[in-house]
Structure 1
Amino acid sequence: MNQALTERPAKPARRRRSGANAARGLLAATARGQRRTLSLAVALGTCGILVALAQALLTARLLAALLGHGAAEWGDLAAIAALVLVQAGLAIAQDRMQTAAGAAARAGLRGRAMAALFAAGPADSRQIGEKASLVIDRIEALDGHFARWLPAAALAILGPLLAVALATWADPLSGLILAVAVLLVPVAMAFTGIGAAVASRRQFAALEALSGRFLDRMRGLPAIVLFRREAAEAGAMAEAADDLRRRTMKVLRVAFLSATALEALFAAALACMAFRHAALLTGGHPDPVAAILCLLLVPVAFAPLRAFSAAYHERSAAEGAATALAPLLATPETHGLLLEEIPPSVVVTFDRVGLRHDPGLPPALEDISFRVLPGESLVLVGPSGAGKSSILRLLMGFSAPSSGRIALNGREAAALRPAEVRRLSAWVGQRAHLFRATIAENIALARPGATRAAVEAAARDARVIDFAKGLPRGLDTMVGEGGFGLSGGQAQRVAIARAFLRDAPLLLLDEPTAHLDPGTEAEVLDSLRRLAAGRTTVMATHSPAVAARFGRVMRLEEGRFVEQAKWA
């Protein structure tokens, strides 16, 4: 028992290490994809450092001449002015390369994240706010890692190395002083970076929690007001916002501490260099140009280190963001067969199918068997939580059965990729989600390559044309996000038009007439009967009117079929 107790605390530490390793692996793999652009940015930065060293040498010669050690030459002044322009051009080109690398990395990661979320579909248990935070906030936080941190880390090695080499050539002891100063910078960064990484991860967790809470509360605002919970929710939101403020200020404090350490090392290096060449002021220095050059090389050597320090918190923020993003992008690639073409009809067979989401909970489905032929409709009825939606999710490929067998035309559905299973079906849910677009564009969502004639034919079959004629621009009338501007029945007809346009052999309906008045429900049912003709249809409903208009009715309770009969 004592051994077990001593081993338990190590598990969270192992999980943290595993998450950190996954985050670093994600960042490294993404950086490899931008290797060419980042290498070009580093090359431009290196050229800029070489130009700065040449400027320091010419400036040292010019200042030494002005102090009376040699004759001033106008050529040196002209060369310095030309190098300033060259350095500015190199800096602009380097910034553009870094920006391009960051933008390309973010675009690639966002595409992968969206693909992973689309592939998971409703099976992904994350809240909407958390998904939005992953795709937007977390990926945006990675920009600095590629656009600033990686080039700055490379130049923080090359820049001081070149400056130390030049200082050593001018005066070996000055080169040693500068080398010691620049080597102490990573040590100071390491001490502050550990706290920065932890603080950044906690800040992102607080931001994600606040984003999710805000979005969920906004969506549930009517219920909050109805139950008079607005004051309590406002207080909880304020507490979450204050927690985010505290964590953000902690990240900033760590960043300021890092900058302070760097400036202290810079001041110490400059002071030591000035003490070394103090004889320059008395006129007894053996090599005034070398003395001035060594002094000028201190800011040249520390300029890349300043950029490194400024970007250091970008690395910490990126690791914190990648820790949450890596599990989503590490989702194993789905394997399975691809369909050469969509079959004209589908026979659906469930053979003793069971579905269990959690070993500690009762099964969602248990020993479910049925067969639905083309042109036949199966209506699933029963109380909420009986398992109706679970059957539809299995048929859409969003869940896999825990036991039993699902066959499509006699072949295992599990052998197909989940996306291929979804290609076989058209779905109409309780509430049609319409996007901010025209009615025609919302219908075409079911088949983006469809012609205008096909979209209009689907609109006629679903009786969308009946109400579209009274709109200002017919099917080209713009509707708002969520179907703003259309009634519930009209939006549902648009969803049915999508199913007509998709023309899939399997039709899945989940409470398609919920929230509709009896008159509108009857009109929608007429469209659904035309849609179901010749197709294999599986429908979940609570409505007696819907069940009475279709074929077989099977009742579910607690995940099991209890009877099979017409609606009484």
Structure 2
Amino acid sequence: MLHPMATPSTGAEAAAASLLKREARSERARLIPPVLLGLGIAACGIAQAFLLARLLATLLGRGDAGWPDLAAAAALALLMAALGIAQERAQLAAGEDAKARLRAAAFARLLAIGPADDRAVGEKSALVVERIEALEGYFARWLPAAMLAILAPLMVAAAAAAADLVSGLILLGAGLLVPVVQALTGIGAAQASRRQFAALQRLSGRFLDRMRGLPVLVLFNQQQAEALRLGTAAEELRQRTMRVLRVAFISAGGMELIIAATLASLAYHHGALVRGTHPTPVTALFALLLVPAFFAPLRAFSAAYHEQLSARGAAADLAPLLDAPEPEGLLLEEVPPKVTVTFHEVVLTYAPDRPPALDGLGFRVLTGETLLLTGPSGSGKTSVLRLLMGFRRPDSGRIAINGRDATLLKPAELRRLSSYVGQRAFIFRGSIRDNIRFARPDADDTAIETAARAAQVMEFAAALPQGLDTQVGEGGFGLSGGQAQRVAVARAFLRDTPLVLLDEPTAHLDPGTEAIVFEAVRRLCVGRTAIVATHARAARNIFGQVLELQAGRAGPARMAGE
């Protein structure tokens, strides 16, 4: 089947075509049932057209059909309806399977990239939701329709040619015109579809990000201005959507023109039927009645045409994410019980036009020690943690764990070594117990309760209606900031890794709550290698070794209280 824009002219189009082709191969087994059911519908349509031709010829006094033919035609109509329902279900199953697989792959890639992906949350959501949703029609409707648009018309044209060669050739010629019309109406349509999806992604991302920052917008009295900007983005999306729909309407009009021309040609060829002098009226009527059966799969092809245009636009945005090479590196045979972390002349730069985040940083944290990283915002504290979690690779220098080069490991293997507690613990909707279990899904209730006691979660959970089984809302609704942080520390206790990384674990907490959380953190760090990035002065009285960073460089290390 001919496709306009089938030869990609840009790298994005080539990547999109490669992604769609690869996924189509993966869905091949699920696409066979709808195609076979479609061929069954076409065969029933041919048989029904022949029976109806016999019935009409009988009504004209030129045939001998009877009630059995009428009953058979009615039975075929019911069978075609049943096959159509089965085909629709098979197509939906193919589309859902493709979406589930692609969404899982995209989400896994986003998780693997982690903070290294600097796209906004709204943009990531649009990729995983809207972009993949736009691919459903490609697998559920376009691919089956594209195959049936070749096989089913050939079957009908062959049946017509068996009855009358000229009629079969007329149908075949009409079928060859369909892709030509699709190509003419589709010039520039793929580009319009990509622009529509780009506008949709911008609007979705902007809307989600602004909803998250709504309190800030209200605080600075920017709600009206932002509403106008959202309205402008929505108007742009409306205009681009109308351009895509215009292509669909033009394509449908071209299809109707071809059908009308085909009926006129067949009517002219079998004009003797009207005069009552046609030698084989059943054949003439059969050829005319085959036109709906011939064009039904081509109509489906035309209706699904915009699906593949939308899919190409969506795939062009998804391909860079899904086709990104898997991070290379070694795997750990097992997680070591103790670790020593060494940085030597480590340099990390996020962008060429910005100064290095780390500029020749060096330090060592021995087994069981806790290193407190201090310094102003932007001095490189969080960058150290990102390197140790595998979200970034150093530009130069050496990071060693137990004397071995840590950059030789896969990033995911680095994360197996560590537990992380950030500034704000994200709490999922569910029970407190389930939120702690998130760190180790196979943990039993005893291990969860032990971790909760160690992190002082039980101090507030005991007063709740159902203890650890108390339900909390998305984002920690129902818990205070300090309580949520203690849940995060409990996750780290449950994970029980040799390396603990903490990034401002008491930020935004009042002094009393800060002291409680730091006590839980102190217990967590005992016997483990720990690196704590914080501004809190109270931490200097709790942890042993302090390293102050300035512009990515290390000052002299000192003990707490010095």
- Quickly say closer, same or farther: Cα 1:477–1:16, change in 2 above 3 A: farther
- Aligned ranges 1:431-442 → 2 under 5 Å: 431-442=424-435
Aligned to 2:149: 156
Aligned to 2:518: 525
Q: Quote how far apart the aligned CAs of 1:506 are.
A: 0.5
Is contact 1:350-1:405 (8 Å) kept? Answer: yes
Aligned to 1:23: 16
- Give me the whole-angstrom Cα distance separating, in 2, the residues matched to 1:513 and 1:261: 66
Q: 1:233 aligns with which of 226, 238, 241?
A: 226
Aligned to 1:59: 52
Could you report, residue by residue, the CA deviation over 1:205-233 in whole angstroms, capped at 9, with x for unpaired residues? 00100011011111111111111111110
Q: Quote how far apart the aligned CAs of 1:454 are.
A: 0.3
SS in 2 for 1:194: coil
Q: 2:79 aligns with which of 86, 95, 114?
A: 86
Could you report, residue by residue, the CA deviation over 1:296-355 in whole angstroms, capped at 9, with x for unpaired residues? 111111111100011101111111111101110011122322222221111001111111
- Give me the whole-angstrom Cα distance separating, in 1, the residues matched to 2:529 and 2:100: 40
1:480 aligns with 2:504: no
Q: Quote how far apart the aligned CAs of 1:16 are.
A: 6.0
- Give me the whole-angstrom Cα distance separating, in 2, the residues matched to 1:519 and 1:96: 60
Letter in 2 for 1:165: A
Letter in 1 for 2:171: L
Is contact 1:145-1:314 (8 Å) kept? Answer: yes
1:299 aligns with 2:292: yes
Aligned to 2:127: 134
Q: Quote how far apart the aligned CAs of 1:360 are.
A: 3.0
Q: 1:541 aligns with which of 527, 534, 538?
A: 534
Letter in 1 for 2:546: V
Could you report, residue by residue, the CA deviation over 1:411-452 in whole angstroms, capped at 9, with x for unpaired residues? 111121111110111111111110001001001111111110
- Give me the whole-angstrom Cα distance separating, in 2, the residues matched to 1:56 and 1:280: 17
Aligned to 2:238: 245
Aligned to 1:358: 351
Q: Which portions of structure 1, spanning 4 or more consecutive aligned residues, are displaced by more than 6 angstroms? A: none
Letter in 2 for 1:482: G
Stretch deviating more after TM superposition (121-130 or 172-181): 172-181
1:266 aligns with 2:266: no
Aligned to 2:4: none
- Give me the whole-angstrom Cα distance separating, in 1, the residues matched to 2:238 and 2:434: 42
Could you report, residue by residue, the CA deviation over 1:350-376 in whole angstroms, capped at 9, with x for unpaired residues? 111111122332211111111101221
- Give me the whole-angstrom Cα distance separating, in 1, the residues matched to 2:63 and 2:335: 88
SS in 1 for 2:334: coil
Q: How does the TM-score come out when normalised to structure 2?
A: 0.97
- Give me the whole-angstrom Cα distance separating, in 2, the residues matched to 1:308 and 1:134: 27
- Give me the whole-angstrom Cα distance separating, in 2, the residues matched to 1:309 and 1:278: 30
Q: 1:454 aligns with which of 447, 451, 454?
A: 447
- Give me the whole-angstrom Cα distance separating, in 2, the residues matched to 1:163 and 1:447: 60
- Give me the whole-angstrom Cα distance separating, in 2, the residues matched to 1:497 and 1:526: 12
1:199 aligns with 2:192: yes
- Give me the whole-angstrom Cα distance separating, in 2, the residues matched to 1:424 and 1:436: 27
- Give me the whole-angstrom Cα distance separating, in 1, the residues matched to 2:342 and 2:108: 30
- Quickly say closer, same or farther: Cα 1:390–1:16, change in 2 above 3 A: farther
Stretch deviating more after TM superposition (395-404 or 72-81): 72-81
- Give me the whole-angstrom Cα distance separating, in 2, the residues matched to 1:47 and 1:327: 40
Stretch deviating more after TM superposition (279-288 or 462-471): 279-288
Aligned to 1:209: 202
Is contact 1:120-1:398 (8 Å) kept? Answer: yes
Letter in 1 for 2:420: W
SS in 2 for 1:563: coil
1:32 aligns with 2:60: no
- Quickly say closer, same or farther: Cα 1:228–1:567, change in 2 above 3 A: farther
- Give me the whole-angstrom Cα distance separating, in 1, the residues matched to 2:485 and 2:162: 80
Q: Quote how far apart the aligned CAs of 1:40 are.
A: 2.1
- Give me the whole-angstrom Cα distance separating, in 1, the residues matched to 2:188 and 2:328: 41
Q: CA RMSD in A?
A: 1.4
Q: Quote how far apart the aligned CAs of 1:156 are.
A: 0.6
Is contact 2:54-2:64 (8 Å) kept? Answer: no
Letter in 2 for 1:112: A
Q: Quote how far apart the aligned CAs of 1:85 are.
A: 2.1
1:369 aligns with 2:362: yes
- Quickly say closer, same or farther: Cα 1:226–1:16, change in 2 above 3 A: farther
In structure 1, the gaps of 5 or more residues are 1-13
Q: 1:412 aligns with which of 405, 430, 436?
A: 405
Stretch deviating more after TM superposition (546-555 or 407-416): 546-555
Aligned to 1:8: none
Equivalent pairs counted in the alignment come to: 555
- Give me the whole-angstrom Cα distance separating, in 2, the residues matched to 1:308 and 1:409: 62
Over the matched positions of the two proteins, sequence identity in percent amounts to 61
Q: Quote how far apart the aligned CAs of 1:501 are.
A: 0.7
- Aligned ranges 1:109-120 → 2 under 5 Å: 109-120=102-113
Q: Quote how far apart the aligned CAs of 1:81 are.
A: 1.7
Aligned to 1:4: none
Could you report, residue by residue, the CA deviation over 1:245-296 in whole angstroms, capped at 9, with x for unpaired residues? 1111111111111101101111111112112222211111121111111111
- Give me the whole-angstrom Cα distance separating, in 1, the residues matched to 2:508 and 2:410: 34
Letter in 1 for 2:267: A
Q: 2:139 aligns with which of 146, 149, 153?
A: 146
Q: Quote how far apart the aligned CAs of 1:567 are.
A: 5.4
SS in 2 for 1:110: helix
Aligned to 1:10: none
- Give me the whole-angstrom Cα distance separating, in 2, the residues matched to 1:237 and 1:505: 48
Aligned to 1:287: 280
Letter in 1 for 2:398: R
Aligned to 2:182: 189
Q: Quote how far apart the aligned CAs of 1:170 are.
A: 2.2
SS in 1 for 2:187: helix
Is contact 1:439-1:477 (8 Å) kept? Answer: yes
1:71 aligns with 2:64: yes
Q: Quote how far apart the aligned CAs of 1:175 are.
A: 2.2
Is contact 1:53-1:300 (8 Å) kept? Answer: yes
Q: Quote how far apart the aligned CAs of 1:126 are.
A: 1.4
Is contact 1:397-1:418 (8 Å) kept? Answer: yes
Aligned to 1:557: 550
Aligned to 2:493: 500
Q: Quote how far apart the aligned CAs of 1:545 are.
A: 1.2
Is contact 1:458-1:501 (8 Å) kept? Answer: yes
- Give me the whole-angstrom Cα distance separating, in 2, the residues matched to 1:526 and 1:300: 77
Letter in 2 for 1:333: E
SS in 1 for 2:30: helix
1:276 aligns with 2:255: no
